[in-house]
Amino acid sequence: MDNREIAEKLKEALRLRYEPVAVTLVREGEEPPDGYKIPDKQMSHCQSVMAAARGEKFLLPSDMHSCKNGASALGMTEVPAKTASGDFYHSAGMFKNPEAAKRMVDQRSTVPFKVTHTAVGPLKDADRKPDVVIIEDIPERIYWVIPMALYHEGGRVDFNTAPYNACCVDVVARPLTTGRINISLGCFGCRKRTELRPEEMLVGIPFDEIPRMMDALENLSTGIMTKAVRD
């Protein structure tokens, strides 16, 4: 299946309310993809993700990322000094002291290569292989991504998250570096800045996992999913 077919199947089978989002990290030395709009003013990565789920396509060079904390996790900039020390997140009131905030930053996943642009848009419109696919929806829809991931080999799924960095760390950097899906409840930043609703959450899927997960979905959607309560 091509990207459009994958997106259509995901939307139909999972009953998604928004478009699956394709995130492409443009490496140093690569040409950015065509057909994406550079925004008129700075925006955060989470804002671009939510806009993409609603049909927008944005190409953000590093200087157009308003959230440098997120940009640093995406391999675009150095970690800001106040972020690295824990002072930034402590001053926001989420942690008892800077040391606790610093521990969160130290343990987050980061993209291990230099990125010059993020290209974020609906998966159906992506004309090249993205790095990660993000789905935003209610828990019942996100739930089905778990059996899709475990269908062939079984086991369990471990989630890794924190109060911050949902769209940059949880559902991009983490899936990219581990090769596994990761679920996020959202973070303070995206819940403050974007259209993410109180009842919604996110999952990031490494695109390399998509082919076998779609094979799983083919079987799940005509089998056990038809027996579930899905109102």
Q: What's the number of domains the chain is made of?
A: 1
- pLDDT band of 48, cuts 50, 70, 90: very high
DSSP H or E segment with residue 205: strand 201-206
d(CA 212, CA 147): 12
State the greatest distance between any 2 C-alpha atoms of the chain, in Å, as a whole number: 52
Query: At residue 231, does pLDDT exceed 90?
Result: no
Q: Cα–Cα–Cα angle for 36, 22, 152, nearest 5°?
A: 160
Neighbours of 197 (CB within 10 A): 13
Neighbours of 94 (CB within 10 A): 15
56: DSSP letter: -
100-147 pLDDT per residue, tens: 999 999 999 999 999 999 999 999 999 999 999 999 999 999 999 999
d(CA 22, CA 17): 16
Query: At residue 205, does pLDDT exceed 90?
Result: yes
pLDDT above 90 covers a percentage of the chain that reads 98
CA distance from start to end of the chain: 28
166: DSSP letter: I
- pLDDT band of 45, cuts 50, 70, 90: very high
69-85 pLDDT per residue, tens: 999 999 999 999 999 99
d(CA 88, CA 210): 36
- pLDDT band of 230, cuts 50, 70, 90: confident
Check: CB of residue 136 under 8 Å from CB of residue 196: yes
d(CA 131, CA 104): 24
The domain in which residue 72 lies consists of 3-227
